[in-house]
Chain A
Amino acid sequence: MSDITANLAYESHSIAHHGPRLRIREKIALTAMALGSMFLALSLIAVNAGTSEMIKSLWFNFSWILAIGGGGYFALSKHLMDRPGVRNQGKTTDSLTSRGAWGWMIGIVFTSFYICLYWFPGQLEGLVRIHDPFSLFMRGRAADEWFVYGTIYTILTLLMGAKAIAKYRHNRYQIIRTSVIMIVQLSFSYLFPVLAAKFSQPEIYFSYLWPLAYDKLFPGSIDHFLHSGAIGYFIIGWFVIGTFVATPVLTYYFGKRWYCSWVCGCGGLANTMGDSWRQVSDKSLKSWKIERWTIHTVLAFIVILTLILWFEPYLPVLFKEIAFQMRKFYAFVIGAAFSGVIGVGFYPLMGTRVWCRFGCPMAAVLGLLQRFNSRFRITTNGAQCISCGNCSKYCEMGIDVRHYAQRGQNIIRASCVGCGICATVCPRGVLSLENGPQENRYNQEQGLSLLGKMKSK
């Protein structure tokens, strides 16, 4: 017979852990976060260039402490309350994560922020000004909208990265990967450029390579670095080797994931702040078709533009104007509208990796390498798949993982960023990210009695 007192203990535990109800502590934290965010928003209308340093400083500290403290406590506690394990309950019923009213609202807020940032930075004046004291401290000059953007971006990556680690704490691949993403964002994409500014060195984002940082290999940039002394040579070396040596070699050994899921800041934000929206990505064949067109068009555009710029001296003058117009077009349509406004703004509506999936030229290059010359694959474990669909649902790249798994085939897709979530959520241990020899990469386990029979079909 079971022990009655033990059962009672379990009962109180069960309500706290599985019920949809929040405890008082979480409610307080949530309120603090809302208040902090509200104050950040309020600065947009209440603060201006004339506001005193003290008010700015108070405003900055007050709102960020509330937002980070409350948001952090809430996000962590939500997951730590529960036992470690896969927890996606409610993802398709909560309005925030299933394109409901909350999802749309957050989408609109993000999108508006990006529209202001790229085209109407004046609108962000108040928010920029409250960051003045912090910017002065960090880099010895007043804040601008890009410093504020970088700061918000980094805070979100760290905060939501901690949440992602709490959520996936039963999985060491996810813990290690998320920690690396957070560290890279904080150092390479935030502190290094900020400190460089402080010491009047070129503000370089070392983690963004050509063709994602599309102007890194333009003759103009190279020329500029050549004139910046020893550090300039180092920078040129870094980017040339990064693009032409590190990219193909690392992708050969580890697949696209070394960059997209371990280094890149866009992927970083997607896998931290965006993690709650990975499931809304579209899985249809149609979107796969569209994705292949758009991403390779962007890549072709960048390659052609880079080539024109390099060969400009030998080309008719007309090309100077063409290159100029192309650059302008790219900066506006791709660099701003696509990667920022849609890429992040649409997280709650189209999934976390809209830019990575439909636009990023770096992802296109890595994808081609991964598809045709890499040791990476996701292995399907024999005939254990029960076609439940979790893997496809939670793939942020919209890959129909189940399609392959239920046929016993390995998954080798250009777009797979190797985030490992399909393998994490699979309830039957069917999937595993692996690097191995290229022969039989598609189906290395064929030829066994039962499995051979099932797979050949």
Chain B
Amino acid sequence: MSNRHIVVLGNGITGITAARTLRKRSNHRITVVSGETDHHFSRTALMYIFMGDMRYEDTKPYPDDFWPKNRIELKRGWVQSINTQQKQLLFKNQESLSYDTLILATGSKPNRFAWPGEELEGVQGLYSYQDLEMMERNVKGAKRAVLVGGGLIGVEVAEMLLSRGVQVTFLVREKTFWGSVLPKEESAMINREIRAHGVDLRLETGLQEILANTAGGVRAVRTLTGEEIPCEMVFLTAGVSPQIEMVKDSGIDCDRGILVDRFLRTSAPDVWAGGDCAQHREVPEGRRPVEQVWYTGKIQGERMAANICGDHSEYDPGIWFNSAKFFDIEYQTYGLVMPKLKQGEKTFYWEHPEGNKSIRINFEESSGAVLGMNVFGIRHRHALWEKWILEKTSIQEVLSHLGAANFDPEFYKQYESEIIHAFNLHYPNQSVELKTKKGLFSKFLEEFFK
């Protein structure tokens, strides 16, 4: 294959995985373009930079000499538009860059809802490194911040601000935190955790407007019920949406995101898109059209690169999984657990009396096959759950080997017997006995990994 110039727009996890995979598999000239930072860093670690757990340098997954060593050229600059006929990127500073193949991996931007006052100084979201710098400026002298919109980034912002002694009022429109994703028991647990850390969490409270002070900064917000909450900072944390500004006039088909087929091709020749900015025309089963998580960016980056190198395979993310941390409670999920049960679906839920650990397993009523699980405050093994869900293992079988999925550190208290006890109380005629305790190579796992 002759050497082409492949330009990757975006140096986030998607773009970088694409570039690395291309380098491993080909001799093409590779250029990665980004306006945000010179080098790839881990966006998921933004909070740790602000809180002083890590420096910016520590969040770079690869050392700076990795790029020249691997002949990946880096170009810093903001792209204004794309000319798909002439195969050219046009930068804000009037420079241009030609490509033979283009990968779009431009990520997301915080949602805005045209709230009055959202353009004021002191109102911001948290997505980019520039947002973090802005936060660093805005936090000076701030006593109270109001966060608008509940979600994972909102919780992180709350923790960040508290670490600097700023009080936080959190406005959430739903009845309960992250209620569009979590069933009510888990969501209630997170409500408690957020409040226990000193956040003034206001559920079922919407934003009316942001009020200015005389200097063009923030003085207060007014809620939909008319209450005024004085504050110096406002965070818009009601989700993110694809960053597609620069493709708007390029003729590439877009909806919410850049539309791609199952091979991750866009409507323009030799232009591919993946990660947060892409929207799948055909949605894989159990998935969403736009997926804004780290590992899907990784898989899509790899898939684009492989397809450019001549593979012809579809994006296949496998079963859904994710993880997060709400202050001190870790959360993992495997398979699909919706806030409301679907037809023919049953659920089993156990919660520790202290209310900071829980496990939920959803299963098919007819066959008992496990469909998905949520676990809070306990760590579980990804590989094993993936296998159980793929193989439609029954809940009885899963519970009797639950210890094998336990991934907590050594010496931790194990709750498998309590969990099974709770199950047996709930479903007396399907009762289960614990066969596998924790221990990596308990018999069951040894079989499994053979």
A interface residues with partner B (beta carbon < 8 Å): 1-2, 6-7, 10-11, 13-15, 17-21, 83-86, 88-94, 170-173, 176, 284-285, 379, 381-384, 386-390, 392-393, 402-403, 406, 420, 423-424, 427-429, 432-437, 440, 444-445, 448-451, 453-454, 457
Q: Scan residues 35-53 of chain B and give those whose CB is less than 8 A from a CB of chain A.
A: 42, 44-45, 48, 51-53
In the complex, chain B residues whose CB is within 8 Å of the CB of A10: 195, 198-200
B215 at the interface (CB under 8 A from A): no
Which of the four size classes fits the interface of chain B? 35 or more
Beyond A429-B379, A451-B382: 14 further Cβ-contacts under 8 Å? A1-B203, A1-B204, A2-B203, A11-B198, A83-B197, A89-B163, A172-B413, A383-B298, A388-B45, A389-B42, A393-B53, A424-B409, A428-B323, A432-B379
Q: Is the CB of B379 within 8 A of A172?
A: no
- A432 with B407: in contact, given A92-B53, A384-B323 (CB under 8 Å)? yes
Q: List 16 A-B contacts (CB under 8 A).
A: A1-B203, A2-B203, A89-B163, A170-B328, A284-B63, A381-B379, A382-B382, A384-B321, A384-B332, A390-B53, A423-B409, A428-B324, A429-B323, A434-B410, A450-B299, A454-B299
Bound together, the chains give a CA A113 to CA B215 distance in angstroms of: 56
- A389 with B409: in contact, given A381-B379, A445-B449 (CB under 8 Å)? no
A351 to chain B, nearest CB (A): 14
B interface residues with partner A (beta carbon < 8 Å): 13, 21, 24, 42, 44-45, 48, 51-55, 58-61, 63, 162-165, 167-168, 195-205, 294-295, 298-299, 302, 316-319, 321, 323-325, 327-328, 330, 332, 379-383, 386-387, 390, 407-413, 440-441, 446, 449
Return the contact of B298 from the options A403, A424, A434, A454 (Cβ within 8 A): A454
Bound together, the chains give a CA A348 to CA B383 distance in angstroms of: 40
Q: Is the CB of A388 within 8 A of B198?
A: no
Return the contact of A383 from the options B330, B382, B411 (Cβ within 8 A): B382
Q: Is the CB of A440 within 8 A of B48?
A: no
Q: Is the CB of A17 within 8 A of B198?
A: yes
In the complex, chain A residues whose CB is within 8 Å of the CB of B54: 92, 388-390, 393
Return the contact of A382 from the options B53, B164, B386, B410 (Cβ within 8 A): B386
B107 to chain A, nearest CB (A): 15
Closest A-chain residue to B324, C-beta based? A428
Chain A interface secondary structure, helix, strand, loop or mixed? loop
In the complex, chain B residues whose CB is within 8 Å of the CB of A15: 165, 167, 198
In the complex, chain B residues whose CB is within 8 Å of the CB of A454: 295, 298-299, 302
Bound together, the chains give a CA A14 to CA B381 distance in angstroms of: 34
Q: Is the CB of B412 within 8 A of A173?
A: yes
In the complex, chain B residues whose CB is within 8 Å of the CB of A420: 409
In the complex, chain A residues whose CB is within 8 Å of the CB of B201: 2
Q: Is the CB of B330 within 8 A of A429?
A: yes
Return the contact of A379 from the options B59, B295, B413, B440 (Cβ within 8 A): B440
- A14 with B321: in contact, given A89-B52, A90-B52, A420-B409 (CB under 8 Å)? no
Q: Which of B45, B53, B200 has the most CB of A within 10 A?
A: B53
Q: Is the CB of A11 within 8 A of B200?
A: yes
In the complex, chain A residues whose CB is within 8 Å of the CB of B203: 1-2
Return the contact of B198 from the options A18, A171, A176, A434 (Cβ within 8 A): A18
Q: Is the CB of B21 within 8 A of A457?
A: yes
In the complex, chain B residues whose CB is within 8 Å of the CB of A171: 409
- A406 with B61: in contact, given A92-B52, A384-B382, A450-B318 (CB under 8 Å)? yes
Closest A-chain residue to B449, C-beta based? A444
Bound together, the chains give a CA A14 to CA B144 distance in angstroms of: 12
In the complex, chain B residues whose CB is within 8 Å of the CB of A20: 164-165
In the complex, chain A residues whose CB is within 8 Å of the CB of B163: 18, 89-90
Closest A-chain residue to B303, C-beta based? A453
Bound together, the chains give a CA A19 to CA B51 distance in angstroms of: 11
A152 to chain B, nearest CB (A): 30
In the complex, chain B residues whose CB is within 8 Å of the CB of A94: 52
| 6 A-B pairs with the lowest CB-CB distances in the bound complex, closest first | A382-B382, A14-B198, A450-B318, A19-B165, A85-B328, A429-B379
